[in-house]
Structure 1
Amino acid sequence: MTAVDQDQIEHRQDQVHTWGVYGLLAVSCLLTVVAGGLVGSRAEWYAAGALVLAAVLLQLWHGPRRGPRTASWRGTVYYALRWAISFALTWINPFFGFFAATGYFDSDETIVGPWRQRFGLFATALVVAGTQAGGLPFHSVVQWPLFGVMLLTNTAMLGLAGHVAQQQEQRSRDRAVTIAELERTNTALQQALDENAALHAQLLLQAREAGVADERRRLAAEIHDTIAQGLTGIIAQLQVVTNTPDRTLAREHIDRAMKLARHSLGEARRSVQNLAPVALENDGLPEALKKTVVEWSERTGVRAEFTVTGASEQLHAELAATLLRIAQEALSNASRHARATRVGVTLTYLGDEVILDIRDDGQGFDPLAVRERTGTGGFGLDGMRARAERIAGSLTLESERGHGTAVSARVPLVPHDS
């Protein structure tokens, strides 16, 4: 039930409580006039008129009902005076029992105290039962047992109605408590959601910072392993040129220096591309991996093949970028250290996860020996493993001297629109 519906119901109740008294008083007067023969004398007519006027003035003094009222001594006086007037009117004519029934309307809103409310209802039941038995005073012995039956019936009906009203009131209180509890629960849930959102933002920031740190370490390793070594080689070749008078030998060392310079320039460009994978701007991961493998094969002269298995899907941007960088790093390691003649790259979709495998037939190595010697996984393996773990994935390595190397990255499949 909406608040508007509740307001309409309360407004109708206010109208019934206010105009119901006047309406029942008018009905009583009308029936009394129509059955005028039942009034014994002119004095009773005058008395009835005076009492009706007193009832109207009393109702005006009490005022219209606007919203729920609370019991008070003023209301108790009003109820008692109205009961007295209704009793006197029913003594004159039993048709005024309709007006006496107004005591059932508002005893709980006027009389102070629960027992006094019940006393007020019982007093009203006495008057109503008297009118139902033929009117007071009784002129026949039969009216007394009839009065007793009517009184018991009215009292039982009042008790039943009161019991139902108490149950409804209890249900209303229970609903109010339930609503309040739900509101508190919703408030706590909203606070938890806000805290989770703040924690998620914090974790995202930490993940970004960790990614930046990983990228810096990767670039530092790239510069040390490629560009710095290339520059060192160039300097060494140029020093030989400056110290030899042989022009043929000098020319040979200059050619070597130029080759090293071109190679270092290519390595610098590759590092920049790894920093921002432009290959994924216009292509999906399978297309970007295929182009990367083809370009790597053309640059190194090593035969390389790329294969996709399973139903390919467009992956989340972070996931696709991570797998592409792992593939680039693995291919870079193969070209620098493996001395391979053949490389295979496979991208596999398995419903709820994606697997990237890079295999070569190179010279291989002992991973444990490399770790003991360097203190790390070597060959950029720690960086690749950190990338996979950052997106809830894993990276495994299998290698043996003389039997090549296999790198496998396994990550959860997260669609692009997630």
Structure 2
Amino acid sequence: MRVLSRLGRLPLYWQVCLINGAVFVAGTLALVLSPASVSEQVVLSEALVLVVGLGVMLLTNALLLRRSLGPVDRVVREMGTVELTQPGGRLTEHGDGPGGRLVHSYNAMLDRLESERSTSNARALAAQEAERHRIAQELHDQVGQGLTVVLLGLKQVHARAPAELDAELRLVRDSTRAALDDVRRVARELRPGVLEDLGLASALAALCSEFAVHGGARVRRTIAPGLPPLGADRELVVYRVAQEALTNAARHAQATEVEVSLSRLGPEVVLEVRDDGRSTAAIVPGSGVLGMRERALLVGGRLGVEGGAGHGTTVRLALPLEETPQQSPQQIPEQTR
């Protein structure tokens, strides 16, 4: 055992050389010291001895090399299938030889990559939210107020304008009012103030209502009663995932009916957005799906997207609860549109 332990500390190259050398030396000694011999015309019994000896050498060599090279193959296979967007998969570590050290280093590398990826994604998403907030503020304070001044000016002009300009001024006023409504709607989408002021249930209700008006699809929403508070970060993730799923349903799936549900299943709060739009047999993740998945990972959640030809698409976000005795569940009545 002490010899094997020392052998395990050697580089992999020298381990292979020593193992193969030991096997060949043992085979040579067996031929020299045993009564077996080979004549000029090899008979069946001699050929049988040679074949058996060769088989024993190959089997011994394979068993000795398996301990050193087996982990290398496991790491190679895992590297071909690893997904950083689906963390958690690690190889089992065995021994302290080169193979064991390789597996340990590989697992440590995955831990480091996932940590760095999570940190960079958190910074990117925080910067994205800050930029959304800034743009929404600019739209509200600059563009929105400017359009409001234009509307007031058109109203005064319309009061003093001759009758023959009435129709044209009304058209301009209606266009300006529609542009102002669009600016306010975009500002609300960029910065969901209702989420901060009234909570997740009201924000989802407003989001579904606005989607039903502008997205052209019928929306049913169901929010289960007794959901515990999720915290500002998790509520924002739920809202953004629902927003992106609804946008995809209108923009890509061309859905006519969408169902949004938020419920508690065991130790998790689950958001599901189902649509009856067109879908392919395999869902190919785009930037929208990857963005939703990154948001879910930042708060310890899981995001799945399922779909099939003729069956629509289902986006499912599961967030584990971290309940404490201080938490008091809020009563949210079921709503259906």
Give the TM-score category using the shorter length: 0.3 to 0.5
Higher RCO by CA contacts (8 Å cutoff, separation 6 or greater): 2
User: TM-score, structure 2 length as denominator?
Assistant: 0.43
Q: Which has the larger radius of gyration?
A: 1
Which one has a larger percent helix, Structure 1 or Structure 2? 1
User: TM-score, structure 1 length as denominator?
Assistant: 0.36
